[in-house]
Amino acid sequence: MRIAILNRDRCQPRRCSHECEKYCPRVRTGDETIVFGEDGKPIISEEMCVGCGICINRCPFDAIMIIGLPEELDKPTHRYGQNGFALYGLPIPQKGRVTGILGPNGIGKSTAVKILSGSLIPNFGEEKGDWDTVLEYYSGTALYDYFRDIVSGKMKISQKPQYVDMIPKAFSGKTRDLLKKADERGVFDYLVEKLDLGNIIDRDISNLSGGELQRVAIAACAGKEADFYFFDEISSYLDIYQRINSARLIQELAEEKAVMVVEHDLAILDMLADVVHVAYGVSGGYGVITYPKGVRISINQYLKGYLPEENVRIRPEAIEFEVHPPKIEKEIHTVLDYPSFSLKYGKGFHLKAEAGNLKEGEVLGIVGPNGIGKSTFVRVLAGEIEPEEGEIDLDIKVSYKPQYIVGDSPMQVRYFLGQITDKFNTSYYQAEIGKPLQLEKLYDRMLTDLSGGELQRVAIAACLSRDADLYLLDEPSAHLDVEQRSMATKTIKRFAENTKKTAMVVDHDIYMIDMLSERMIVFEGTPAVNGTANSPTTMHQGMNRFLSNLNITFRRDEDTSRPRVNKPGSRLDREQKESGEFYYYRVE
């Protein structure tokens, strides 16, 4: 069985010679395997297509996919018209549990949520769907009662959107007004305290940062009286402290309600969810949502790239976490020593930095809460800000990828990157940066048309393309799915090793920091008041200090060696805290 997918946004029949039809062998023998519709775009007959792949390779805009599917996937749950994206399966909300969905972007997670919210009626591959057919199809299953309540209007749903930066466009006014309007459960004061919103409660929504908007969105969703709560990516823009607070709030909510979460931070998903549905397929082509599995089992299977129950390989290579001893520092050349310094910044914020050094070819992880001076610290090293105490005269060039990225330039990605580096058209650049970051399909797109994840990958490439001595990347994991984070991690690490340049990565994804870093700088203090940048330490020392501040402990998973959060108060958690070993006490 095969399906044919046409990306209608990419397809431009007025700018091509209809190569898909011209070179199709079935068309050349007289069959109408490919015809052109009223809109001038091709319609591909899946019954007649032989899967030769010629149209895929001949299409100048890379707009066609021909995908072979197992026979078990005979009927999609929903399909967006002929030659459109197809979704197979649905996640199952369960009262009293947090249900997670784990999978790459563009795989149908949002479509599944639209169906569960009642805003989209599944059509099972037909032209139009109706609720009677849906109820008949799911009769005798766990979803029948759920959809029956949706149809009768008994099911109330509260949903947190993925892109919180759109909130100011939909609502104007004070944060207090938004949360009061959403507070149907009478928990306004509790949510403000739990999510630390007190200092922004009287500020205008349009003046909030990404992290502040994220916490407001979580509070607004949790404040509504509903039977089913859906949270789409709670971790974006939040530091690890805020992520853990948000996760604990959602767990409390799930004690009496059905909660579903889409999350790409695996440490948070592992801590938060009770069961997880794995979503796999081809981005933009089709998606399959598996039956629920245990959290540990589902995450491990996803990382390994093989689902044994479904007998499906979803990725050619496993995502691996290496357990390796730290490098002997005497063998690594020190490229930069910086002295201790301090300065006051903004409205009374005080930053103090201890002396340290940067090593050749290393990636230095930087962790700590938001608003504690991490970006200010790097700007001092770059010479953009002068400290009040301590002389900084480093004479280095810095390439910087900021936390918040705006694609406001009407420019093609190809031209944008070509302006930055003259190596863009070399095979080396494409092999080391373009291909690993999956940029090939973005080169002819405009920056203004890119999604958050696409823009993030272009920004990482732009940062690494500049000629510099020090490369700083602020939250490169934002908006990326698990596989994209893994590829970005490998790209950054390999770039530092091959060029013998130093990279500093600020991120709140523990998995990314674990895979990426040779050493760490831990920031401590009070956000917006004072911050201390400690000297660079080994991963073990730095993570131990960082996790002790969080009061959580980590262990390594015995199958994948990935970090896992110990359940608070568990035997292993108590043992590690008593021994002072918060970081990888032993393999599970």
DSSP state of 446: B
Cβ–Cβ under 8 Å, residues 391 and 339:
yes
Stretch (H or E) spanning 548: helix 539-550
Query: How far apart are the C-alpha atoms of 246 and 235, rounded to whole Å?
Result: 8
Tally of CB atoms within 10 A around 256: 10
Query: How far apart are the C-alpha atoms of 457 and 433, rounded to whole Å?
Result: 10
Query: How far apart are the C-alpha atoms of 394 and 384, rounded to whole Å?
Result: 11
How high is the pLDDT of residue 386?
82
What is the DSSP code string of 372-391?
A: SSHHHHHHHHTTSS--SBS-
DSSP state of 572: H
How high is the pLDDT of residue 441?
85
Share of the chain above pLDDT 70, in %: 97
Mean pLDDT value across residues 568-576: 89
Q: What is the pLDDT of residues 107-121, one digit of tens each?
A: 998 899 889 989 899
Strand partners, 279: 289
Mean pLDDT value across residues 177-205: 92
Confidence tier at 587 by pLDDT (50, 70, 90): very low
How high is the pLDDT of residue 490?
92
Query: How far apart are the C-alpha atoms of 588 and 176, rounded to whole Å?
Result: 45
Q: What is the pLDDT of residues 390-404, one digit of tens each?
A: 777 677 788 988 877
What is the DSSP code string of 431-466?
A: IIIITTTT-GGGTTSBGGG--HHHHHHHHHHHHHHS
pTM more than 0.85: yes
Q: Identify the structural domains of the chain with CATH numbers, from first to last.
A: 2-68 (3.30.70.20), 94-313 (3.40.50.300), 334-539+546-550 (3.40.50.300), 552-587 (no CATH)
Mean pLDDT value across residues 236-255: 90
Q: What is the pLDDT of residues 428-485, one digit of tens each?
A: 999 999 999 999 888 988 888 888 889 999 999 999 999 998 899 988 998 898 899 9
Q: How many CA atoms lie within 13 A of 344 on its CB side?
A: 2
Residue 500: both structure tokens together: 């013998």
Cβ–Cβ under 8 Å, residues 55 and 24:
yes
Q: What is the pLDDT of residues 219-232, one digit of tens each?
A: 999 999 999 999 98
Q: Nearest-CA neighbor of 506 among 548, 550, 475?
A: 475
pLDDT at 351 over 50: yes
What sign does the CA torsion over 444, 448, 451, 456 have? Answer: positive
How high is the pLDDT of residue 588?
42
